[in-house]
Every structure is written in structure tokens, then in C-alpha cells.
Structure 1
């Protein structure tokens, strides 16, 4: 019977706080990181965290919020450059106000659909 070799590479990133307990074990025992994490993963096969799948509505709301925040950022940039140029006229003010109202309307309609 031949021994099965480990050929699947698994990689993850940890914050310093998440890594700290493992760092202490590695330093105290001299065990390799890969060996330690392999033991941790295989010992906890029964306690695997399975994240909840996002609903289509939630994904859509996140997309809409992202799109709206990008639009809001563009409006803020436009107003800021007009202010720095000393040309915050009534026309610029009304243009920005109309864009904000449109953005609010778009966001409300999108939320109602979800």
C-alpha cells in the first residue's frame, strides 16, 4: 500500500491578532507552520464554519449601495472642484442638488424592488 502524498496547496491570510496564538506555539515547539496548521485543520473537521450564502436581494443591495456611493463621490468631487475654483454658482448648486435627488430616487426604487 502506497502512502498518499499531500499535493493540494491551501493558503490563508491572518491578522496579527489571529496569528498570535499560533506564533507562540510555533516558537515554543519549533514545529513548522504548515505542520501546525495542517493538524489544526484536520483536527477540526467536525467544526467547519460554513458562511451563509448571500441572497440575490442582498447581493443586489450591496451592488446598488456601491454604485450609489461611487456616484455620490463623483458629485462631491465636482462640488469640491467648483468650490476650490471659486465658481460655486447657483447653477452648480442646482445641478448638484438635482443629482442628489436623482440618486436618492434611484436608491429608494432599488430598495423597493428588493
Structure 2
């Protein structure tokens, strides 16, 4: 006889995977073995019971703290603007005055992000 199906709330329908280097794996493996749980149960309990402490990486520039995620997103957006402006300039669809204005603004933003 087949095992009865779990309810949709009890079914484990999402699989996660991650990689560890040898030193990280040794620490992980010791903790799992000492817990008496299997790896999946240990991970679920660590995350769901919130026994883990996650800290966001912080970018430090001359005493100023900028969360890396925000810094990365801002840099990405500026790069996209610069690329679009360069493409428009090459196509001749933007005036020199507008180009100089935008470049000045981008340089000002860059200077602000670098805390010069």
C-alpha cells in the first residue's frame, strides 16, 4: 500500500541548495551531527526557528557606512544611464548641451558616492 499524500501545507515542495568550502563544511557537519538531526531537518530548524543571525554586508568608505546592496543597485543604475546616454550620443539623438549636463550630473553623483 502506498503512503498517504501529505496536505499541501505539509508537503515539502521546495528544494534549496548551497555550496560550502571544506572548512565551512567541517563546521556545518559537526553541528549537524551533534544535533542528532539530518541535514535537511537541521537547516529547516536553524532557519525557521531563527537560530541563525544574518548580517548585511556593509561597504565602508572613509568612516561612512553604505549597505552593499544599496551601493550596488545605485552603481548599476548609474551604469545603465551612462550606457543609454552613450548609445543616444552615438546615434546623434541627443544634443551636446544635454549630453554635457547629464555627464556633469553623473560625475557629481559619482563624487558623492565616493565621499570625496
Q: Hey, which of these two has a bigger chunk of strand by percent?
A: 2
Q: Hey, which of these two has a bigger chunk of helix by percent?
A: 1
Rg comparison, structure with higher value: 1
TM-score (norm 2): 0.44
TM-score (norm 1): 0.44
Which is bigger in relative contact order (C-alpha 8 A, separation at least 6)?
Answer: 1
